[in-house]
Amino acid sequence: MEQPVSIEEKLKERVKELTCLYNVSSLIRKSNFSDTENLLRGIALNLKESIRYPDAAFVEIQTNKSSIVEGKQNQDAIFIVSAIKVFSEIFGSIKVGYSKVKFSQNAFLEEEEFLLNKIASEIGVFFERKQIKEKEILANRQIERIDRLSILGEITAGIAHELNTPLANILGFTELLKERYKTDEVGTKDLQKVINSAIYSREVVKKLMFFSCEMPQQMEVINCVPIIKEAIGLLNPNFIKKNIKSELFFNKENIQLKADKIQLTQVVFNLVINAIYFSPVNGKIKISVEENKENIQLSISDEGVGIPLNSAANIFNPFFTTKPIGEGSGLGLSVVHGIVKSHKGAIKHLPNLPKGTIFVINFPKK
C-alpha cells in the first residue's frame, strides 16, 4: 500500500514530473505528424515512469483513432483521468491507474493530476497543429488543381473551337459521298464508319466545351421530373441491350429546380450511361429524385464492380478513365462535376453494398 509522502520524496517526484514534461515536449516537437501512434506510445511510457509507483501503474491514452496502453491494465482499478480536447471538442482521454486491490485514491499526488492535465493539453495542441497542417495541404492541392483546370479549360476551349469546323466538313462531305456511292455496299459501310467516328469526335468536342464552360447556361426554374424521365426513356435501348432493369423513383411529381435543361439532361445521361457500362448483364440501376427541406437529391446506383480505391480520388479529373482505350474519353464525370458545381450543387460517390457504386448529387432549391 502507499506510504505518506516525505519532503525528499516530493522533491524526487517533482524531478520525475519535470523530466517527463521535458521528454513529452521533445517528442512532440520532433514529431512530423506521420506516426502519431508511436508518439502516443512514447508519451505513455514517459508518463508511466514519472508516476509515484511506476511498476504498478498503467497508462492509457485514447483518441478517436487509436488506443495505447502501457503497463498492466486492471479492470478493477482506481485512476485519474484528463480529457484531450482539440479545438474545444473532446478528442480523447489520458488515464493513469493502479489496481484497486493494492492502492487507494490517495496514491495519486496532486502534482500528478496537474501533470496529467498538462500532458493532455500538449497532446491536444499537437492534434490541433496536425489538423491545421492537413487542411493547409488539402487547400494547396485544391488551389493547384483549380490552377491546372483553369489552364486546361482555356486550352480545351481553343481545341474545341478549332475542331468544330473540320468535323462539320467531314460529316457533310462524307454524307454527300455516301449518297453518291449508295450502290457500292462496301464503300457505303466504310463511309458510315467515317460518319460514326466523326459523330463520336463531335460529342467529345461538345464535352470539351461543357468542361471549358463555353456552353452558355440558360438557367430557369423547371419541374425536373419530366426532364429526367425523358432522359431515362431515351436510354431504353441501352438498358435493353444488356437486359438491365431500371427503377425510377420521385417523392413528388412536381419538383422545382433552377437548372439548365440541356445540362441537367447531360448529367443524367453521363451518369446513367456510365452505370449501364459497368453494370453486369441482368443487373439493376436505381434512379431516385427526392426533394427535402434544404435541397433536391438525385442518386444513381448500379451493381457493377465499384470504384477502385486507387481511382476514387481521380474520377472527376478530366481525361481520367478506367475504361479500356477507345471506349471512353475520360471527360464524362469531369463534365458532370463541372455542371453540378456551376449549379451550386455537390456530387459524391459511395459504395453500393454489397457491390456497385452510388452517385449522389445535391442541388440547392431554386
CATH code of residue 42? 3.30.450.40
Looking at the fold, whether 226 and 346 belong to one and the same domain comes out as yes
Q: Indicate the number of domains in the chain.
A: 3
Looking at the fold, whether 133 and 259 belong to one and the same domain comes out as no
Looking at the fold, whether 182 and 278 belong to one and the same domain comes out as no
Amino acid identity for residue 235 in this structure: L
The pLDDT assigned to 320 comes to 60
pTM greater than 0.85: no
Within a domain: 190: yes
The C-alpha cell at 356 is: 456497385
Asked whether the beta carbons of 278 and 241 are under 8 A apart, the reply is no
Q: Which of 120, 137, 154 is the last residue of a domain?
A: 137
The pLDDT assigned to 92 comes to 93
Within a domain: 2: no
Give the CA radius of gyration of the chain: 32
Q: Which residues have CB under 8 Å from 364's CB, separation 6+?
A: 258, 294, 295, 296, 343, 344, 345
The pLDDT assigned to 269 comes to 86
Question: How far apart (Å, rounded) are the C-alpha atoms in residues 348 and 342?
Answer: 15
Q: Which of 137, 172, 195 is the last residue of a domain?
A: 137
Find residue 340's DSSP bridge partners: none
Find residue 245's DSSP bridge partners: 284
Residue 199 φ then ψ, to 5° = -65, -45
Asked whether the beta carbons of 363 and 257 are under 8 A apart, the reply is yes
Task: Average pLDDT across each block of 10 residues of the chain; the chain has 366 residues. List them in order.
Answer: 67 87 91 88 93 92 90 87 93 93 86 92 93 86 65 65 80 87 85 84 69 66 91 86 91 91 86 89 92 91 84 72 60 80 89 88 87
Q: Count the residues in the chain.
A: 366
Looking at the fold, whether 132 and 151 belong to one and the same domain comes out as no
Looking at the fold, whether 232 and 326 belong to one and the same domain comes out as yes
Complete edge-to-edge strand list for the sheet that includes strand 67-70: 67-70, 58-63, 89-99, 77-86
Looking at the fold, whether 133 and 148 belong to one and the same domain comes out as no
Amino acid identity for residue 299 in this structure: S
Looking at the fold, whether 252 and 333 belong to one and the same domain comes out as yes
The helix/strand/coil state of 185 is: helix
The pLDDT assigned to 149 comes to 59
CATH code at 259? 3.30.565.10
The pLDDT assigned to 117 comes to 93
Looking at the fold, whether 207 and 304 belong to one and the same domain comes out as no
Asked whether the beta carbons of 156 and 211 are under 8 A apart, the reply is yes
The pLDDT assigned to 210 comes to 61
C-alpha distances (whole Å) from 50 to each of 24, 28, 93, 123 are: 11, 17, 18, 17
Q: Per residue in 127-163, is it b (16+ CB within 10 Å) or e — as a string? A: beebeeeeeeeeeeeeeeeeeebeebbeebbeebeee
The pLDDT assigned to 327 comes to 58
Q: Which residues have CB under 8 Å from 163's CB, separation 6+?
A: 201, 205
Within a domain: 197: yes
Looking at the fold, whether 114 and 243 belong to one and the same domain comes out as no
Q: Which of 113, 137, 161 is the last residue of a domain?
A: 137
CB atoms within 10 A of CB 13: 18
In 3D, which of 139, 130, 119, 124 has the Cα closest to residue 34?
A: 130
The pLDDT assigned to 39 comes to 92
Looking at the fold, whether 189 and 310 belong to one and the same domain comes out as no
Within a domain: 1: no
The C-alpha cell at 153 is: 479549360
Find residue 364's DSSP bridge partners: 295
Looking at the fold, whether 248 and 319 belong to one and the same domain comes out as yes
Question: How far apart (Å, rounded) are the C-alpha atoms in residues 107 and 55?
Answer: 13
Looking at the fold, whether 128 and 28 belong to one and the same domain comes out as yes
270 is in which domain, residue-wise? Answer: 220-364
The pLDDT assigned to 360 comes to 94
